[in-house]
């Protein structure tokens, strides 16, 4: 005797029929995929293990995302491990960054930098900030930055409109500068009120003629903004030295195309170098032209590989006169990041900042130009210790891009070049951008910048100096094979003691 109501019986029968139909469809699909896989010879795994072999590609793809949650240890993931990302996240949210029970960092690995504390550290009330550093002593509008930690170049196009807005507002609140990246000056860079460093890349986006050369008229328009404080000529960047910028066609919207001066929907590939800069003489000519035109400080950004050209540059500066020197050099590390770069360049070309920064510092000192040219360090500087180490090795200022991306909410999904960034930072998909609130994220950006500065100052106090800028290589030891450390000034004997002039 059936005790179930007729209506429930009907539902159960429909469910059974649907299940049977689904099972038949799955069996048919399995058989079809079996014969497809068995008959093809492009993929040996799929041929030898039909259907099941398809899961290899799926798991390889998914492993990229699940690794950081279930398998990777706190200190082993690349390019940024969980410990570093978590520090940035806590700093951005204004949470305590104190930890319990001891460090999880292996301090015995060769190359590890250790700051040497003074037995008589500085009290907070004893700290005396030295005179601020000014860039551009020979222009009408020199620039005196308020912060030694700033936002590195990220182009509008590579990152989204709400991301640019959040960075601009956050930079204003934190009192640091923001670099436009090579994608030109957008309204969103200016909207937040931050100090702006305008970057001229090899394609000269935003200040280009139709044939890719510099347009003086467009340069005048950019320089007319009071917020634009300096001009940076990008020769190369860390993730792809010798290769121009790459912006996929799906990211070239009508607005971005207008700002850059390129075609809508077409991939945007910058030349490998500036068409009009092929020698140190032409580089100085270009810097002079831009500086005379804008009356603002002008410098260049580069990755260091060979160094002989820097010697030639210094000699040419002395031949022309000290005023002809670039006002600053931004040194990018070979392990720097970007939205899209070829792996051979990303993995194998250029020097990292720990080697290139002291090298440039030494060359400038040898030629008596270190007081004239300010050094800006870039490349994986997302924590206080990394920033403090760069200052110790000769940097006057430091910049970070990926640190501020983490502050915006980046989860290292590695989708930057796909226009599918799940956090809305590097995508122009409006649905994905909806999760990035510029007002809330700008507060995270400001807190992160302020926390970096506070904790670098904490390191400086521990080392017994009045200011982060007074950190020098004598305050650092580097772990050698075997676990023992050597003073950095012994490892870099050619560098003189860091100047304490303004």
Q: Does residue 284 contact residue 317 with C-beta atoms inside 8 Å?
A: yes
Query: What is the Cα–Cα distance from 461 to 118, expressed in whole angstroms?
Result: 8
Over the stretch 84-106, which tens digit does the pLDDT of each residue have? 777 777 778 777 776 656 666 77
Over the stretch 263-275, which tens digit does the pLDDT of each residue have? 888 887 888 888 8
Q: What is the pLDDT of residue 483?
A: 85
Query: What is the Cα–Cα distance from 370 to 328, expressed in whole angstroms?
Result: 10
Query: What is the Cα–Cα distance from 371 to 179, expressed in whole angstroms?
Result: 23
Q: What is the pLDDT of residue 79?
A: 62
Question: What would the mean pLDDT of 193-206 be, rounded to a whole number?
Answer: 94
Mean pLDDT of the chain: 85
Q: What is the pLDDT of residue 279?
A: 95
Most confident of 72-81, 178-187, 334-343: 178-187
HEC letters along 115-155? ECCCCCCCCHHHCCCCCCCCECCCCCCCECCCCCEEECCCC
Q: Band of the pLDDT at 502, cuts 50, 70, 90? A: very low
Strand order in the sheet with 485-487: 113-115, 476-479, 485-487
pLDDT at position 472 over 60: yes
- Tell me the three state secondary structure of residue 362: helix
DSSP single-letter state for residue 240: S
Over the stretch 106-153, which tens digit does the pLDDT of each residue have? 778 888 898 999 988 888 777 777 778 999 999 999 999 999 999 999
Query: What is the Cα–Cα distance from 86 to 89, expressed in whole angstroms?
Result: 5
Q: What is the pLDDT of residue 378?
A: 93
Closest CA to 452 of 13, 10, 14, 88: 88
DSSP single-letter state for residue 465: -
φ, ψ of residue 199 in degrees (nearest 5): -100, 130
Greatest Cα pair distance in the chain: 108
Question: What would the mean pLDDT of 170-176 be, rounded to a whole number?
Answer: 96
Share of the chain above pLDDT 70, in %: 85
- Tell me the three state secondary structure of residue 250: helix
Q: In which residue are the tokens 């910049």 written? A: 399
Q: What is the pLDDT of residue 406?
A: 86
Question: What number of other Cβ atoms are within 10 A of residue 280's Cβ?
Answer: 17
The pair of three-digit structure tokens given for residue 378, joined into one six-digit string: 């870039």
Q: What is the pLDDT of residue 262?
A: 84
Q: What is the pLDDT of residue 108?
A: 81
Higher pLDDT, 231 or 79: 231
Question: What would the mean pLDDT of 2-31 be, rounded to a whole number?
Answer: 82
Over the stretch 343-366, which tens digit does the pLDDT of each residue have? 666 667 778 888 999 999 999 999
Strands 485-487 and 476-479: what pairing?
Answer: antiparallel
- Tell me the three state secondary structure of residue 276: coil
Query: What is the Cα–Cα distance from 238 to 302, expressed in whole angstroms?
Result: 8
Bridge partners of 478?
113, 486
Higher pLDDT, 408 or 174: 174
Over the stretch 212-243, which tens digit does the pLDDT of each residue have? 899 999 999 999 999 999 999 999 876 666 66
Q: Does residue 134 contact residue 143 with C-beta atoms inside 8 Å?
A: yes
Q: What is the pLDDT of residue 131?
A: 79
Q: What is the pLDDT of residue 495?
A: 42
pLDDT at position 466 over 60: yes
Query: What is the Cα–Cα distance from 143 to 21, expressed in whole angstroms?
Result: 73
273 by Cβ neighbours in 10 Å (0-12 / 13-18 / 19+) ranks as middle
Over the stretch 31-45, which tens digit does the pLDDT of each residue have? 998 888 888 877 777
Nearest-5° Cα angle at 428, 426 to 433: 80
């Amino acid at each position: 005797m059936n005790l179930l109501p007729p209506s429930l019986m009907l539902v159960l029968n429909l469910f059974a029929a649907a299940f049977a139909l689904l099972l038949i469809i799955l069996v048919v699909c399995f058989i079809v995929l079996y014969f497809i896989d068995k008959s093809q010879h492009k993929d040996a795994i799929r041929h030898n293990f039909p259907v099941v072999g398809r899961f290899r590609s799926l798991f390889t793809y998914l492993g990229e995302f699940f690794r950081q949650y279930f398998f990777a240890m706190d200190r082993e993931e690349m390019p940024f491990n969980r410990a570093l990302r978590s520090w940035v996240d806590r700093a951005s949210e204004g949470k305590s960054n104190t930890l319990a029970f001891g460090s999880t960092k292996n301090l015995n690995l060769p190359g590890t930098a250790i700051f040497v504390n003074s037995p008589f550290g500085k009290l907070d009330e004893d700290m005396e900030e030295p005179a601020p550093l000014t860039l551009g002593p020979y222009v009408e509008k020199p620039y005196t930055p308020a912060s030694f930690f700033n936002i590195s170049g990220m182009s509008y196009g590579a990152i989204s409109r709400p991301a640019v807005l959040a960075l601009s507002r956050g930079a204003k609140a934190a009192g640091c500068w923001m670099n436009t990246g090579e994608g030109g000056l957008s309204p969103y860079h200016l909207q937040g009120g931050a100090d702006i460093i305008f970057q001229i890349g090899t394609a000269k986006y935003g200040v280009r003629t139709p044939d890719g050369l510099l347009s003086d008229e467009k340069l005048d328009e950019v320089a007319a903004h009071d917020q634009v404080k300096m001009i940076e000529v990008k020769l190369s960047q860390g993730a792809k030295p010798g290769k121009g910028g790459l912006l996929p066609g799906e990211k070239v919207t009508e607005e971005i195309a207008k700002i850059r001066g390129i075609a809508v929907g077409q991939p945007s590939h910058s030349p490998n170098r500036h068409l009009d800069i092929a020698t140190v003489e032409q580089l100085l000519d270009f810097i002079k032209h831009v500086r005379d035109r804008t009356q603002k400080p002008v410098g260049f950004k580069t990755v260091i590989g060979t160094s002989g050209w820097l010697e030639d540059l210094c000699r040419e500066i002395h031949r022309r006169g000290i005023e002809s020197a670039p006002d600053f050099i931004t040194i990018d590390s070979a392990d720097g990041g970007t939205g899209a770069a070829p792996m051979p360049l990303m993995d194998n070309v250029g020097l990292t900042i720990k080697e290139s920064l002291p090298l440039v510092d030494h060359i400038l000192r040898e030629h008596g130009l270190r007081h004239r040219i300010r050094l800006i360090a870039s490349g994986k500087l997302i924590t206080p210790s990394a920033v403090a180490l760069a200052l110790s090795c000769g940097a006057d200022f430091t910049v970070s891009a990926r640190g501020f991306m983490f502050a915006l909410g980046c989860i290292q999904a590695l989708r930057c070049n796909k226009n599918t960034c799940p956090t809305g930072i590097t995508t122009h998909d409006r649905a994905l951008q909806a999760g990035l609130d510029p007002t809330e994220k700008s507060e995270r950006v400001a807190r992160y910048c302020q926390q970096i500065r506070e904790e670098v100052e904490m390191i400086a106090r521990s080392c017994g100096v009045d200011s982060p800028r007074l950190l020098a290589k004598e305050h650092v030891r580097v772990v050698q094979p075997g676990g023992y450390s050597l003073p950095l000034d012994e490892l870099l004997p050619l560098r003189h003691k860091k100047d304490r002039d303004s």
